Amino acid sequence: MPPRDRLTDVESLLPRRESNGALQEQTYAGYGSRGDEALQKKHEQHTEGLADYKSLATILTVVLIGDTARGIVFPTLSSYVILMGGNKSTLGAAVAGFSLGRVIASPLLGKWSTQYGCRRVLAAALSALSLGAILYALASSTAWLIAAQVMMGLGSGTLGVTRGYVADRTPNARRTGMLAMLTAVQYGGFACTPLLGAMLCRAIGDGAWGFGHHFALGGWVRLEWSQFTAPGYLLAGASAAVALLVWLCLEDAAPAAKATPPRPQQQQKAVEGAVGEKMALLHQTTSSSKTPAAAAAAAQAVAYGDVEDLEGAAAAARNHDAQQQNHDAPLTRSAEAAILGAFLLNVACKGVIATYETLGANYAINTLSLSPASAGLFFATFGAGGVVALLSMGALSRRFNDVQLIVGGAVVMLLSCALLVVPTQGGGLGYAGFVASIFLQYSIGYPIGHSAVLGMFSKIVGKRAQGALQGLFASAGSVARIAFPLAVGTVAQLLGVHVVFALLCVVLSVTIVILLVYRRTYLAYCEDD
């Protein structure tokens, strides 16, 4: 075989570089490896973030559509339930059904993303979300509606996957800021898209166009276009479009379990004939690597000029092996304790904001005599302020560490709750106190505090499988969104709203104390790579 043909064979075994220097995903025939973790990490540290902007935009779109599923139906969900003969308890079950679906789906989708790849898992989840939205639009009974909410929750339980995708591709120095960007999009999804639902409701009005009720799918379905069904149909179409976007645009490495076994004799023949004695020696070095992927890492390092001698190639292989061992290493007791603490911080933050979502509008309407429309606009406006705060997390994380940001956010949340504790006539501190409380909670405290908790958690997890643990982390937040509203509703009914906010002050105070006591442990995990 001519030397040039042999060299071509070798080149076919290696991923190619695009004109911009990025690695083009291509199967390594000899080792079954895709990409190079060492080179990828080096490139990420140089660019200080996720360099694949197409994939990043796709991930952000997935996050947005996941929480739009909750926001776009918010203005009409309660009326939709009443139209089917339900009551407030039914409404609570419908709202809880969405979070229940997320609790179930988040850890499973996170685990599957590490086994089968993020692209397949996200496309399947978005397809389930589209199906749930169609069921929502066709529902003609409260049981069907609750089932549709659960299905939409299952389809939108992708937070662990999206967070893990970004965390795996972002160095520590930029991770909090990048995850804050995801949280900003998520926060905008459920805090700002209710305005989209309200605009849709106003555009359609009270009329309905359709064909009434028909027996199909084992029950009676509502075939009509109205202010109640339109959000479901639009969400179904948008989810299907995003699923297609994920399949076409998201760059995703092949799962490690899919790697093909090495073929040393075939590769050695091609390498020796193409580049001579030096590459033959390199083959001997890579053949002694602990994993096939490490051998591919060494070969790529030489091919791309990242190392110039055999010693450097061997170092590249050892570095890859060390990274893989770190990825698969079991959690230490210190890491387990730190992860548990981060879970509790997540539950506290999610529980507090869920309480405001449950009682905030009721407080505004019954105590301050605001109309439902005014109350909704009120919360959406301060929610938009929270999006601005989240988009500023990159700058904040460069100035403050995660522990400082969490403590600061928790203190602001504590002050917000304290403003609603005093049970005086006219609603505690009155209208001004309520405005200040909602501003502190929605625009500053929760977005900054919870985003910092998320960033710190990803750093504690480190190089281990982010997808599965991020899925459990998201599920813990969903559990809080189910448990806190049920609990605070009972307490408020029996003892009053002011007692609820007093209890929240206690929860936040204990959280702050625990965080300060163990701050050194958390700071050890927050150091940059």
pLDDT in tens, 148-161: 999 999 999 998 89
**How far is 248 from 479, CA to CA, in rounded Å?**
33
Q: Which amino acid is at 4?
A: R
Q: Output the six-digit token pair for 50.
A: 């996720």
What is the residue extent of each domain of the chain? Answer: 3-46+260-327, 49-249, 331-526
pLDDT at 432: 84
Give strand pairing partners of 222: 213
pLDDT at 494: 80
**Residue 244, Ramachandran bin (φ over 0: left; ψ between -120 and 50: alpha; else beta):** alpha
pLDDT at 508: 94
- How is domain 331-526 classified at the CATH fold level? Growth Hormone; Chain: A; (1.20.1250)
Q: Which amino acid is at 460?
A: I
Angle at 256 between CA 251 and CA 259, to 5 degrees: 100
Domain 49-249 matches domain 331-526 at the CATH topology level: yes
Residue 114 half-sphere exposure toward CB, CA atoms < 13 A: 20
pLDDT at 268: 52
Angle at 120 between CA 114 and CA 125, to 5 degrees: 100
Q: Output the six-digit token pair for 311.
A: 């010693």
Angle at 111 between CA 353 and CA 448, to 5 degrees: 25
**How far is 28 from 272, CA to CA, in rounded Å?**
17
pLDDT at 269: 54
- How is domain 49-249 classified at the CATH fold level? Growth Hormone; Chain: A; (1.20.1250)
- Rounded to the nearest 5 percent, the helix, strand and coil shares of the chain are 75, 5, 20
Place of tokens 């409380």: 437
pLDDT at 501: 92
Q: What is the pLDDT of residues 291-305, one digit of tens each?
A: 555 555 555 554 544
Give strand pairing partners of 209: 225
> Which segments of the chain have a pLDDT < 70?
1-51, 88, 176, 206-222, 253-331, 361-362, 365-366, 370-376, 423-429, 463-468, 527-529
